[in-house]
Amino acid sequence: MEHVEQPPAEQPPRLRIGFAAEFYHVYLTPLMRSKRGTLTLDGLPRLPAEDDALVLLERFRAALSKRQLDGSGRATQRATLSLLWPRFQLSISLWMLVGLATDGAQPFLIATLVRELRTGTGSVGTRLGIVAAIGALCLVNTASLQQVLWFGSRCGMRAKVGLSAAVYHKMMRLELGSVASWSSSAVSNLVAIDLARLELSA
Tens-digit pLDDT profile for residues 86-144: 566 677 888 889 999 999 999 999 999 899 888 888 788 888 999 999 999 999 998 88
Q: How confident is the model at residue 76 (pLDDT cuts 50, 70, 90)?
A: confident
Which residues, 6+ apart, have CB-to-CB distance to 161 below 8 Å?
51, 53, 56
Please, what is the Cα angle at 196 between 18 and 17, to 5 degrees? Answer: 5
Q: Is 35 left (phi over 0), alpha (psi -120 to 50) or beta?
A: alpha
pLDDT tens digits, 122-132: 788 888 999 99
pLDDT of residue 27: 67
Q: Worst-scoring range by mean pLDDT, 4-13, 70-79, 96-105, 138-147?
A: 4-13
> Is pLDDT above 80 for 4?
no
| The predicted structure's pLDDT at residue 32 | 67
More confident site: 202 or 44: 44
pLDDT grade for 74, boundaries at 50, 70 and 90: confident
Q: What is the mean pLDDT of the chain?
A: 76
The pLDDT assigned to 1 comes to: 46
**What SS3 state is found at 17?**
coil
What's the confidence (pLDDT) of residue 138?
93
Residue 182 pLDDT > 80? no
Q: Which distant-in-sequence residues (6+ apart) come within 8 Å of 73 by Cβ?
A: none
Confidence of residue 36 (pLDDT cuts 50, 70, 90): low
Q: Nearest CA to 81 among 95, 64, 69?
A: 64
Quote the pTM value: 0.63
